[in-house]
């Protein structure tokens, strides 16, 4: 069940404000240097689309939530590179094996049903030498905050489209056979209320072996 009409509308209203407050720069860093055929998983309303550059020849953008998918289709028409928006789930990507140069997860691994399965699927569809880019809020390094995140995750996913605050996407990547080429950790945004969602990671992970 991937229809979240209230969350979809709230997220679409709030995401541009977060972009203005600094998230847009993180999106640019997420996508910098990508080329070829890119698969973006759970694209939401399409907040990354303005940040793809000309070396990217096509973006296949997957979005299971119908209202967000319609927003993404509108955003795709304004993008500087060709973007095709389709339905589909991270855990069973509708894409041939070894056909994609880069897979992008942007604030999505918190929400998918099974992050390890999603990353294993990303690994399956990557061409040899391909990469997975990740931009996610993560489990806190501070034990007290991590405990609060676990408590919050008893109800937060029910009001936030499945989002969990206490996930560790790099551990999920390792479990899927993907290891870091580079990792940047940073806090965003400031403010006490944002504490459970503040610690972020930007990373590039690649297939081991
Ligand atoms: C917080 S929004 C992020 C949207 C967008 N990636 C961004 O950076 O603004 C989380 C997104 O993950 C999508 N999502 C949730 N579960 C998913 C799944 N199993 N497969 C693919 N996308 C999923 C939601 O529909 C939503 O668009």
Q: What is the CATH number of the domain that holds 117?
A: 3.40.50.150
- Cα 115 to middle of ligand 1, angstroms: 12
Q: How many CA atoms lie within 13 A of 20 on its CB side?
A: 5
In the reported structure, the alpha carbon of residue 36 is separated from the centroid of ligand 1 by a whole-number distance in angstroms of 23
Q: Which of 8, 103, 108 has most ligand 1 atoms within 8 Å of CB, for mutation?
A: 108
Task: Please state the atom number of ligand 1 nearest to the C-alpha of residue 105.
Answer: 6
Determine the pLDDT at residue 1. 57
Q: Is 169 in the pocket of ligand 1 (CB under 6 A)?
A: no
Query: Does ligand 1 lie within 6 Å of residue 60's CB atom?
Result: no
Distance CA 115, CA 137 (A): 13
Residue 136 in 3-state DSSP?
strand
pLDDT value of residue 78 = 96
Report how far ligand 1's centroid is from the alpha carbon of 127 (Å). Answer: 23
Distance 175 CA to ligand 1 centre (A): 21
Distance from the Cα of residue 181 to its chain's centroid: 18
The pLDDT of residue 54: 85
CA of 3 to the centre of ligand 1 (A): 11
Contacts of 144 (CB under 8 A, 6+ apart): none
* Structural domains counted in the chain: 1
Burial of 117 by CB count in 10 Å (0-12 exposed, 13-18 middle, 19+ buried)?
Answer: middle
- pLDDT tens over the chain, length 209 residues: 588 889 999 999 999 999 999 999 999 999 999 999 999 999 999 999 999 998 999 999 999 999 999 999 999 999 999 999 999 999 999 999 999 999 999 999 999 999 999 999 999 999 999 999 999 999 999 999 999 999 999 999 999 999 999 999 999 999 999 999 999 999 998 776 678 999 999 999 999 87
- State the Cα–Cα distance between residues 90 and 109, nearest whole angstrom: 9
| Residue 193, pLDDT score | 67
pLDDT of residue 156: 94
| Ligand 1 atom, smallest distance to 15 CA | 9
What residue numbers bound the domain in which 180 lies?
5-207
Residue to substitute in 27, 28, 44, 160 for testing ligand 1 pocket (most ligand atoms within 8 angstroms of CB): 44
C-beta of 68 in contact with ligand 1 (< 6 A)? yes
- φ, ψ of residue 7 to 5 degrees: the values are -60, -45
Pairing of strands 178-187, 199-207: antiparallel
The token pair that represents 100 in the structure block: 């994609």
Residue 67 token pair: 């209202």
**102: which 2 tokens?**
């880069």
Tell whether omega for the bond before 189 is within 30 degrees of 0, i.e. cis: yes
């Amino acid at each position: 069940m991937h229809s979240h009409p209230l969350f979809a509308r709230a997220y679409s209203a709030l995401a541009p404000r977060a972009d203005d407050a600094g998230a847009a720069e993180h999106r640019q860093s997420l996508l910098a240097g990508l080329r070829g055929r890119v698969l973006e998983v759970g694209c939401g309303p399409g907040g990354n689309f303005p940040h793809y550059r000309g070396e990217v020849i096509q973006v296949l953008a997957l979005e299971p939530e119908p209202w967000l998918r319609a927003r993404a289709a509108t955003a795709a028409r304004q993008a500087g590179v060709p973007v095709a928006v389709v339905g589909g789930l991270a855990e069973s990507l509708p894409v041939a094996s070894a056909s994609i140069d880069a897979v992008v997860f942007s604030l999505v691994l918190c929400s998918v049903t099974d992050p390890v399965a999603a990353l294993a699927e990303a690994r399956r569809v990557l061409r040899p030498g391909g990469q997975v880019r990740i931009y996610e809020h993560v489990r806190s390094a501070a034990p007290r905050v991590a405990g609060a995140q676990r408590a919050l995750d008893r109800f937060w996913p029910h009001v936030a489209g499945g989002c969990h605050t206490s996930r560790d996407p790099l551990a999920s990547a390792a479990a899927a056979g993907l290891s870091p080429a580079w990792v940047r950790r940073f806090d965003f945004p400031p403010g006490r209320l944002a504490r459970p969602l503040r610690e972020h990671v930007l990373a590039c992970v690649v297939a081991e072996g």
